[in-house]
A and B are shown apart, each in its own frame.
Chain A
Amino acid sequence: MPLADAEVRNKDFSEVALGYTFEDAINEANRCLQCLHKPCVASCPVNVDIPKFILAVKENRMDDALSIIHQTNCFPSICGRVCPQEVQCESTCVMTKRYQAVAIGRLERYVGDHAKLRIDVKPLNQSKKVAVVGSGPSGLACAYDCAKAGYAVTVFEAWHDVGGVLRYGIPEFRLPKATVDKEIDVLRQLGVEFECNVVIGRTIECAELFEMGYKAVFLGTGAGLPTFMNIEGEGSIGVFSANEFLTRVNFMKAGQPTYDTPLLTGKRVVVVGGGNVAMDAARCAKRLGYQTTIVYRRSLNELPARQEEVEHAMEEKVEFELLAAPLKIVADAQGRVTSILCQRMQLTEPGADGRCKVVPTSEAPFELETDTVIVAIGTSPNPILIRSTKELKTGKWGTINVDLNQQTSIDHVYAGGDAVTGAATVIEALGAGKKAAASIIEYFTKEHAG
């Protein structure tokens, strides 16, 4: 797929991957062998009927293709962009045996971006009301399926705008916000209502939702609580969690002339971590004019981020300081960061999980001069809902416990996405939201029959 030039694109926030042309899409669709056992479908977390939609693309029935995708996935333009297809649908494509996999994600994106969706709007059953807590991917997926089934859905969101990580986390250059708006608008057309500025657990207690007439509740509150390193100097000015940095830049549009949210100005940034969030933060910083270095304690092979994102970051001149672990952040008398002290690490034999462990070397620590440090070493579930909902059983990392039907320890309260699994992917969250919706629909159907 064509990409914007690396030395041009690393100075603005426009989309990097430019998308297929019509000819590209037809040519790529023609590579699909339409095999009968469809291994790609099984390795898609929401089981999109991939050969069927690709056949429709081949035959230039784009609107049909979109309807086929929409049967199981409401966000083709989003998933086509952010799913790690190389470890999902494309990993089992039979073409990989001799050639490259069919570019399923790119085709899905093409269809999502270019086809027109026929929406079958049904009157909603107001006596079967569903409350969805959180408007990130899992909540949106649950809301979509419940609304399609004819139930009245209200989505409660704590922020002032909807989308969760799609809005505040993933930057514009990977996922344009116009695309997010367009796909969420489909839910509005189906009759889903959104209420922003409502924190469940504070503004409204979880149990009160039932008093308000909701018959089922889905908790899709994500894993938004940032983890810090607990090293000296982490309270210095210029140290941010990746969440704070990305929220300021993506969501509050900090630093743009007509927006009020401020951004600290600096020249050099060190991003600590090696996941997709670290890549997003580093590439954002690069676009804001920082000289940017990623510090990661393992080597290139162990980077948890998608390979494509790592390549894009490298093309954009993000530097990598591998096998290095921060020891201490140094600040001046005004409390502002001046450098970060790191320990050189080395890999050892893989542990029981197959992953190489790292141990410090005997080398003396080295210092990287920097005025900004972004900590991107992970997140855990937000404590507000859990603390205020005592009956909700949780695991040791604060994740919500659910059964095979996504139901929590409270009757008719379901949960899914990062709140259950800890930080994972958009598509896995969508899958969990759909599964919870199926349980809710089953519950309503049984109740109706009974």
Chain B
Amino acid sequence: MARIIKKDILNSGVVSMEIEAPRIAAKAKAGHFVMIRVDEHGERFPLTIADSNKATGTIRVIFQVVGGSTIKLNRLHAKDEVRDIVGPLGMPVHHENIKHAIVIGGGVGCAIAYPHAKALKQQQAKVSFIAGFRNKDLFILEEEIRQIADQPYFTTDDGSAYRKGFVTDVLKEILEKENDVDLVIAIGPLLMMKAVANVTRTFNIKTVVSLNPIMIDGTGMCGGCRVKIGDEYKFACVDGPEFDGHLVDFDELFLRNSAYVQQEKHLCKLLEEDKQ
């Protein structure tokens, strides 16, 4: 059992939780994730570690309430406990000698991109952060991003705040103007990461994306999370979840992630009925 220390609502659909998990906090690095099972009948699902604090023995996860398990998790509050939490899992990514990195977050993906920006900043890299949201009500971590980034940029799809357009619009402008960029990290919806990879491919700039396939154990024993990277399949839970964006088969992953859409709707419906 792991106790929830703090819960914050970041916007109408995104929640931040600080969870007591000293062993995980002691080891967590940017790129690591945890598997959570909310209760005895729950499924196991992955959440990226958004932040960790060795001193307090806590980790922070930020999640969008999108389906059965996140609805269940969102029903818990400070002082409640989640049944199981295991981690840190995955391969942390460490980039050496980066002069200028562009970190891109799409929606709730900003929460996963943020620790990368933080880690790069600690290595004295120049960090440009492009945060994109559908509209102004969905902003998260705006202050944190402004503090960490040398060049923060914000966009909204509908133009309801800051600049109207997509993260790729800003990305192209930076790449056309500045020639010291040696790394792009993009984390967000698959379509966004695919679009970013397409842009950086023409500029021939190393691009890292964080994939979010369906996972069950998260420790490499089932292959449910296999993704096609170049010519071979990799298990995102042990080989990733971060990969070279220029090699990822985004289309296949998009299809694979839709496998359980019907079952997921059914579970959400049951949970809604249960609530009434």
Chain A residues within CB distance 8 Å of chain B? 158-160, 196-199, 202-204, 224-226, 228, 230, 234-235, 237-238, 240-241, 243-244, 247-248, 252-253, 258-264, 334-335, 382-384
Contacts and interface: CB of A to CB of B under 8 A. Distances in A.
A159 B217 contact: yes
A244 B220 contact: no
Nearest to A235: B252
B141 interface: no
Contact of B256 (A235, A243, A262): A235
Interface residues of B: mostly helix, strand, loop or mixed?
A: mixed
Nearest 7 CB-CB pairs, A to B? A335-B255, A262-B263, A244-B222, A224-B221, A197-B86, A260-B43, A261-B43
A204 B23 contact: yes
Nearest to B219: A158
A65 B86 CA distance: 41
15 contacts: A158-B217, A199-B89, A199-B219, A203-B87, A235-B256, A241-B222, A244-B222, A248-B216, A260-B42, A261-B43, A264-B260, A335-B258, A382-B221, A383-B220, A384-B219
Interface residues of B, number: 40
A225 B252 contact: no
Interface string B229-263: 00001000010000000000100100110111001
Contacts of A159: 217
Contacts of A382: 219-221, 238
Nearest to A264: B259
Given A160-B83, A198-B23, A224 B256 contact: no
A243 B223 contact: yes
A382 B219 CA distance: 8
A243 to B, nearest CB: 5
Contacts of A241: 222-224
Contact of B86 (A203, A259, A264): A203
Contacts of B27: 202-203
A283 B15 CA distance: 42
Interface in B1-50: 23-24, 27, 37, 41-44
A247 B256 CA distance: 19
Contact of B267 (A204, A248, A260): A260
Interface string B195-239: 000000000000000000000110111111010100001000010
Interface string B163-204: 000000000000000000000000000000000000000000
